Chains A and B, each alone.
Chain A
């Protein structure tokens, strides 16, 4: 099957999630016999796009007009739908992040193509086309059978490892047929903390809750995260009172993460919080209350006061790194 993968980028740089999506597209193409074409919209360096060849893309379509630097899911959808038609793609891959969550459903509805949102594994093509995703806030998995000729999949970040080989993709300019008049949303500003790892893409996450007692105590959390090269997160009460920004809030009404390692410090583990983290591969809980429900969902635990344990843990990480 011919596969089209949408390349999400920020400020002209490829996101790790885009490399995962290309790797995934390449696995789908290998499995079903076909080639991978990538599509990128807006200002991005052609060299960066050509590098997608090492992840399995044969060709990259680029529509670089400046109006694409303004994100509008409706206008983007028209461009992507045209690329699907032009490449006769049968599978269209997105990343299940803020852009992909806006775009993939629109593309699916426009093409009347069945969709699976938040896939966590490559499709099973034995006697159909079935894709696995997490449902009931991480409490179960479901296998979705897609019944249409064209299929849309958004891939959950951090679900499959990036695989890099050799090669370079041919970058071709793409006439999307989309003009400035197609844009009905005007983006006024974007603000992101560029110095840290985006939480949904992070392989390691250090998260803290009310047990930290106040925002002034986050220094040691930031330090532990920096030593581990991890992203920081928090529980709902902490973002509700403004100790930490909302985009760090993990849980039912916040974001869902599935890192390799989730370290929860001073978080009791309410079911709403677990809904955002229980697909993490390994969970470590540090809490002074041995009865905290989070210990039941944890792989490793330390019963102790965060203010005693975390500084020692930082020293232990430093020692580990020095030795490695």
Chain B
């Protein structure tokens, strides 16, 4: 199996979110960046498991500037064989998907993995866009996958339950919690990752279809109103009369 994993860099979960230039730019000062959690914990690890089961190779692809190299090296340390970084600073999900499609469509990948969403722009979009641009069947938010020959049986999350579906390679899958268990890179993996190929390719001429014009922080919640634990009826009164939610 020839497998591709799309990885993205996101601010750490605990990063302070602030903006500059009249609320038009994300303030990167002091922000630690990580590999997007669903990409790393579930998509990448499940891809490596496919190789362990069926042989083949795992390539990671990232659309970004050289700032992204540390997370790409981490993916190599966890177990990917090689990496491609498409050198640009994308403005929207379409630009990311279209850049990956340009690179990947002639490569003959059997399975393409993405995480279900990134924790910065929360779009759930790159997987579906990429599937369409590569003309692949797409199963989103997968929580389990088993592979027999060229046929995968995949569980995916739907509202209040799950759906089980079957698909033949080649296909694209977006990874949800449950698909695999997080792996921590070991020292040998970290040493090897330095010698694994990371190819930087020039970006294709693709324009974003949307851009962010401004950001806004949500209004601060006023401090909590505490209610006497012996008198929950007071809570119900407040929810009805003050908050008007029941």
Query: Which residues of A are interface residues toward B (Cβ below 8 A)?
Result: 10, 15, 71-74, 77, 96-99, 101-110, 112-118, 128, 130, 133-148, 184-194, 196, 198-201, 204, 228, 246-247, 249, 252-256, 260-261, 271-272, 275, 278-279, 281-285, 295-305, 308-309, 312-313, 315-317, 319-320
- Please measure, in the bound complex, the distance between the C-alpha atom of A271 and the C-alpha atom of B120, giving whole angstroms: 14
Q: Tell me if B158 and A192 are in contact (CB < 8 A).
A: yes
Q: Choose one: A10, A140, A253, A297; the contact of B221 (CB below 8 Å).
A: A297
Q: Does B109 contact A (CB under 8 A)?
A: no
Do A253 and B177 have beta carbons less than 8 Å apart? Answer: yes
Given contacts A98-B140, A117-B125, whether A198 and B159 have CB atoms under 8 Å apart is: yes
CB distance from B154 to the nearest CB of A (A): 9
Contact call A300/B227, Cβ cutoff below 8 A: yes
Q: List 11 other contacts, CB 8 Å, given A74-B137, A118-B123, A135-B121.
A: A98-B140, A98-B141, A98-B156, A101-B128, A105-B128, A106-B131, A109-B97, A136-B11, A188-B153, A254-B177, A301-B224
Report how far A247 CA is from B224 CA in the complex, Å: 29
Set A186, A297, A300, A301: member contacting B167, Cβ < 8 A:
A186
Name A229's closest neighbour in chain B (CB-CB): B246
Shortest 4 CB-CB distances between A and B: which pairs? A105-B128, A304-B229, A192-B161, A114-B209
Q: How far is the CA of A188 from the CA of B151 in the complex (A)?
A: 13
List the interface of chain B (C-beta within 8 A of A): 11, 13-14, 17, 19, 37-38, 41, 92-94, 97-98, 119-133, 135-141, 143, 153, 156-168, 171, 176-178, 208-218, 221-222, 224-230, 232-233, 235-236, 238-240, 243, 245-246
CB <8 Å contact, B122 and A256: yes
A200 x B94 contact (CB < 8 A): no
Take A271-B13, A303-B229, A317-B236 as given contacts and tell me if A105 and B124 are in contact as well, using a CB distance cutoff of 8 Å.
yes
In the bound complex, how far is the Cα of B11 from the Cα of A283, in angstroms?
26
Distance (Å) between the CB of A101 and the closest chain B CB?
4
Q: Give complex CA distance A102, B239 in Å.
A: 36
Give complex CA distance A153, B231 in Å. Answer: 45
A282 touching B245 by the CB < 8 A rule? yes
Q: Which residues of A contact B224 (CB under 8 A)?
A: 285, 295-296, 298-301
Contact B221 A299 (CB under 8 A): yes
Known contacts: A74-B137, A101-B128, A141-B216. The answer to whether A146 contacts B210 by CB under 8 A is yes
Shortest Cβ gap from A310 to chain B (Å): 9
Are B153 and A261 in touch, CB under 8 angstroms? no
Question: Would you call A130 and B243 a contact (CB within 8 A)?
Answer: no
